[in-house]
Structure 1
Amino acid sequence: MATMLNGAAIMDGALLLIAANESCPQPQTSEHLAAVEIMRLQHIIILQNKVDLIQENVAINQHEAIRKFIQGTVADNAPVVPISAQLKYNIDVVCEYIVKKIPIPERNFISPPNMIVIRSFDVNKPGFEVDEIRGGVAGGSILRGVLKVNQYIEVRPGIVVKDESGNIKCTPIYSRIVSLYAEQNELQFAVPGGLIGVGTTMDPTLTRADRLVGQVLGEVGSLPEVFVELEVNFFLLRRLLGVRTKGSEKQGKVSKLAKGEILMLNIGSMSTGAKVIAVRNDLAKLQLTSPVCTSRGEKIALSRRVEKHWRLIGWGTIQAGTTLDVPPSPI
């Protein structure tokens, strides 16, 4: 679920895959549809997969069950396309729907660049000579603005440490872009939309094994503040999603937030733990286990530990919070 929410933070549309040889909805299907609504994805195409494994009347009955399931949700008017991924049946129709039903959103090329990091790598192989070593690579999607080769950039929160008193401190990472890639194409400029690989002069140790996931990359001095506590206006789901039930048994109700409990938050592509330190009506104060670079008004997803799994229980909007003092830029 955390992976799905992180990915949804940079998507313009979604394909909801439903197996034709299973009853609808499966617990995970309900949970993912709720997550799509939380992440404000408006453009959805539903794929009824594995139609080659069932008879026509079963496919028609399941199609009606899917229509009933999505009624009143963000996917209410979404097309339901019967496909067989294995036999490549109707894949051309899916491509046509993607082109015609999911519009290209308006992009902002004027604002300072801001990119959510969803992957980071060390591209150096063991045994490289010192002069062959290349800087770390960050992968993600640009939300606004344009990145250019040789541009100086900042990554927040950057390097996070605790001082002797146990207080969290963060030091942004400053670097320079040495290459930009989309797929296999080398670029001089990168614009919003699609996935971009950004080659930098960063120490590759900092980017190894997705260490920068959840951080924000952009123009020096233009990134949002770094929060360690958040005040959120939240809304809880009525019932738990993603938990299997027996027979006609109903999903368990979502209990209220309790002071002192630990939740998981998804903010952009960042997943972090949070301790509830105060609750009043639909407002909660949350202490984060890791600092997050975000803005007031951003949407967040709330998950709770249920039967050894993190389950989506609601969402919220950031109203205010406690920020960290970030050292001034040396550039």
Structure 2
Amino acid sequence: MSEFTSSEIRLASRPEGMPRPEDFSLDRVAHGQLEPGQVRVANEFVSVDPFMRGRMGAGRSYVKPYELGETIIGGAVGRVVESAAEALPEGTAVLHQHGWTDAVQDDASTFRAVPELDGLPLSLYLGLLGMPGLTAYVGLTRIAQLREGDSVFVSGAAGAVGTAVGQIARQLGAARLIGSAGSAEKVGLLKDKYGFDVALNYQDAPIREQLVHAVGDEGVDVFYDNVGGDHLEAALEVMNDFGRLALCGAISGYNATERPAGPDNMGTMVTRRLRMQGFIVGEVAAEHPEVSEEFRVRMAAWLSAGDVTYEETVVEGFEHTVDAFRDMLGGGNTGKMVVKVG
């Protein structure tokens, strides 16, 4: 078994506002021969995700910040090319959290073998079949406790989590889907491909005004928030009594350099007896150990039956990972954004 080198993208400085290319470094790392129990994996796709931006700051969050000089940790999927572990022979497709690197060598326990599904790319394990899909499912079933006949509003509905939320909500019996997105193209996709009844372009006019007009007297029972800010304020304006708000993300503020103003209508939390909860998918999955397998079974069945579909924004070339990350933070993706390593 030979020695080899890998390319890794590391945090060079803590970004202020939108991350800059110079906030990262591209380094070559030499690896020795495999030790017993180790495998060597060539990555095929790496993930760029909103949560990574939060870990680049030094402030308090739900997870430890990246250290300066540390490789950006996150999801990636690849294939075992050399193995000294019986459980993961050469050729096995694996999912892991070693992040922004074109190849990786480590103990086999840090990788999870995944089945290859006919006609579907491995990158789906970073999207609909992976963390974004599970996040959507957990938020709807365990946090918002979606009920058949509910009216659902999804902010950032054209993103990786948002497209999954809309489709899962429909499969679970939602009666009406309302989504927001940032372009006419994405709005059209929400209605034509993902089955949203109403899709709003938040660039056209204040989302609060658009949502009040679109919802009318029917109101909203469940709000699934990926955006925060003005979208949370808009949702509070139209929630029905005893509505549930599941707060997954707040990407509108991730690059903010000043503290944004809070919603001016928080009183509706009391007058309409609303329940709002932020959540982290890993914590909910640990609290409900049955939910991950439940999701995998149901999502595989929905995919096989053609009841759910997916969209990916694929950036070619590992060297463009930082560009892809910056583009995703600016709303340049439709569905899940992944980087094809090469």
Aligning the two structures, in what range does the TM-score lie when normalised by the shorter sequence? under 0.3
User: More helix by proportion, 1 or 2?
Assistant: 2
TM-score by length of 2: 0.26
Name the structure with the higher strand share: 1
For normalisation by structure 1, the TM-score amounts to 0.26
The structure with the larger Rg is 1
